[in-house]
Structure 1
Amino acid sequence: MRTSRRFILSAASIALALSACAVVDRSDSTAAALERNASWTVLPIANRTETPQAGLRASAIAQSLLASGGMQVTRYPDTGDEETLFDTAKPDANAKALAWARSQNVRYALTGTVTEWRYKVGVDGEPAVGLTFDVLDVASGKVVWSAAGSRTGWSRDALSGVAQKLEKELLGTLTK
């Protein structure tokens, strides 16, 4: 009796610890209304972290996931000035990117923000990623779908692997 109680408590503790590794919120109900066969693009993703080029890394993963999900993805041109070392404030960058998407007759544009992209300080140095995504109707510029999430990994996990898992989870309703 005592052994089974310990086992149950241990299993519950492990499940609770594992469930605390990721938090995801998304507007799944509106994902079904989006046209899967429409043209898509991934616009620059803002980097609000201290990690250089985290926005570019997140954009590359998102573009790959959308394309592998069977979506027609128009590649946003690499101008080289989206993010040099650290993302600086560029108030007209979003307007320029949206204007480009309109000129390409793209229906939906994925954009967002990287809020965390680092290895935590400490003995284990776990990778931690935080992202927000918005899908814009390019014609109107309105947000038609959104998601936000964070995920941490174990000390042996790669930061890019944790980011890919989080992005796959966040974008899953769009690509299925």
Structure 2
Amino acid sequence: MHRMLSYAKGLLWLALCALFFSFSLLLPASAAVEGGYTIDLTPLLDALMPSLLGGVSLLASMVLAWLLRLLARYTGVVLDEKHRKTLHEIVVSRLQQIVTDSYEGNRSAFRISTKSEVVAELAGYAARKAPGAIRHFKLDQNGLEEFVAGRVGAKTLARLKSSPKHAPARLPPKPAR
């Protein structure tokens, strides 16, 4: 933010210098009109116009970026993104935990038979772990289950059902001595 402000200040000083330079050229030109002779400034304006337009457009884009950041801060768009990310991370971590427990044959692990059971388990877990995010989005149980159902796919369920639920954990082979 400080770097952007310093760039804006530098561009402002540059614009002021260009303005004073142009006034220093225009004042003698306006006096020349009264006195009877003219100064042709079109070559100078033709040379400076692309630079001035570039500087003005850069300054305008910086002001727009600053205004958009203020708008995002005051409308809470960033807060929505944080809550959505929190809910997503909680659901995915619990799903990974279920898959890991299923592969390791954890006897106390959650038993999976249908997608609705997995969705209900994940929704309950998310409701316990992130009540603030659920309140922020004003999600009821159906809305939360719909959010969770989008993260549970057919491949995940097939992987859970095909894993050995009660087999002992596989240990890596011992290295040969």
Q: TM-score, normalised by structure 1?
A: 0.28
Which structure is larger by alpha-carbon Rg, 1 or 2?
Answer: 2
Which has a greater percent of helix? 2
Q: TM-score, normalised by structure 2?
A: 0.28
Larger relative contact order (CA 8 Å, sep ≥ 6): 1
